[in-house]
Amino acid sequence: MSIVNLAFQVLPKSEGGSTYEIVDKAIETVQQSGVKYEVGAMETVMEGELDQLLDIVKRAQDACIEAGASEVMTHMKIHYRPASGVTMDEKIKKYRL
């Protein structure tokens, strides 16, 4: 399977916990996964095989629930190019110094 980019944003609903602290738990899930990723102000982008990345998103949602969220809305974007794969570097390399 080819390499894809998957961007996702979790929006946890919590009755008193800190939203940032709950989102931090989702990001920890990504960090522990071992895939290439980049955290942004509004979403996290990962690079890898689609099935693996979708599993990470599921685990990130579970981490939000375990951290106190009563529900989680998740927005995802997937860039898929089966012939050659997709990398984050090809998209942002020219903007990095």
DSSP string of 7-71, one letter each residue: EEEEEEE-SSS-HHHHHHHHHHHHHHHT-EEEE-SS-EEEEEEHHHHHHHHHHHHHHHHHTT-SE
Question: In the prediction, which pLDDT does 18 show?
Answer: 86
Cα–Cα distance list, 15 to 12, 19, 67 (Å) = 10, 10, 12
Q: In the predicted model, is pLDDT for residue 89 greater than 80? A: yes
Question: In the prediction, which pLDDT does 75 show?
Answer: 98
Average the pLDDT over 70-89 and give the result: 96
Domains of the chain: 3-95 (3.30.70.930)
Give the pLDDT band of residue 96 (cuts 50, 70, 90): confident
Average the pLDDT over 32-47 and give the result: 98
Average the pLDDT over 36-43 and give the result: 97
Residue 12, judged by CB atoms within 10 A of its CB (0-12, 13-18, 19+), counts as buried
